[in-house]
Amino acid sequence: MAQPIFTTQENRYDQEILVFLLNNQWYGLNVLKVKEIIRPMTIHMSPNQNTMVEGIIRLRDQAVPVLNTYQLLQIEEESAKYFIIIEHGDKTFALKATDVSKIERIQSKDMHIPDALSQEKDAFVSSVVTFNEEHILYLFDVEQVIHVIHPTHFEEDFIEEYQSERSRFSLVLIEDSPTMQLIISEALRDAGYEQITIFTNGEEAWQYVEEQEETVDLCITDIDVPLLNGFDFTKKVRNVPLALPIISFSSLHAHVMLQKGKQVGINEHVQKPDIKQLLRTLDTYLVHQ
């Protein structure tokens, strides 16, 4: 079980990352998204037609899809020593890993968005951590993986209500996953929330909110984002203090979000990828006020 995180002080870590190996390259996952690590099990055929789903395993009477991580990243396949079991919202799946190394403690300020070349090469990487010239860690974009396997759809009949009222409000979205940026922004704009300013890290979002506080009506933030995580972003806003509504939209466990979110001043938490509930929450704080 992970140690308590997001209790950041100066020179303290605020994220714990499970480090695993694929084809001589190190990758990482936030430990709060990792349910467990197991030895490989027999993989059975799956009705899922996606070629990246290798099959399913039976884990304590639960059918868990196994994703071929090597195929996802388009790298040469090796013998997997471990399956990493991931929990993301209401979905559970397994990632194949050549090896698992350790838990690395990092600070959000050390996370950086990959450049265009890296994004083209590694579409499933959300950010990069460089420890030294020989030690580079790529953080896995779980949202992108989920979207490839289970594409997110949004129902048009739900979003038509209140469209004109929603257009009056200005939102800030903090999200480092390009996939989730697109899904969230397209859904909200289709629903009428047309004024959305998007940031990939909390530091730039904070600078914008600090300068434009009178024009921003609400913030939506993921938590494990680069430079300034969602909790520390919220603390900065509340220390001003600003009464700006802040909604966390994250796949981290609800009990973590509710406890720590309340402490730092987050108004509401919505579990990814429930965009319909996110829209209802926005309407509660904006349209229905």
* Residue 208: CA count within 13 A, CB half-sphere: 20
Domains delineated in the chain: 15-149 (2.40.50.180), 156-285 (3.40.50.2300)
Q: Are 15 and 224 in contact (CB under 8 A)?
A: yes
Lookup: tokens for 118: 């890296």
Return the pLDDT at 153. 53
Return the pLDDT at 4. 37
Q: What is the pLDDT along the chain (289 residues), one digit of tens a residue?
A: 333 333 434 445 677 889 999 988 889 998 888 999 999 999 998 776 677 888 889 998 888 999 888 888 888 888 999 999 998 777 889 999 999 988 888 887 788 877 654 554 557 887 888 766 667 888 888 877 777 776 665 555 555 668 889 999 999 999 988 888 988 999 999 899 999 999 999 999 999 999 998 899 999 999 988 889 999 999 999 998 888 999 999 887 777 777 888 889 999 999 888 888 999 999 999 998 7
C-alpha closest to that of 282 among 254, 258, 248: 248
Residue whose structure tokens are 């209802």 = 280
C-alpha closest to that of 233 among 209, 197, 267: 209
Return the pLDDT at 83. 96
How far from chain centre, in Å, is Cα 220?
12
pTM, to two decimals = 0.75
Return the pLDDT at 58. 92
Q: Return left, alpha or beta for 246; rule: phi > 0 is left, psi -120 to 50 is alpha, else beta.
A: beta
Q: Are strands 15-22 and 25-30 parallel, antiparallel or unpaired?
A: antiparallel
Q: Compute the CA torsion angle 223, 224, 229, 230 (nearest 10 deg).
A: -10
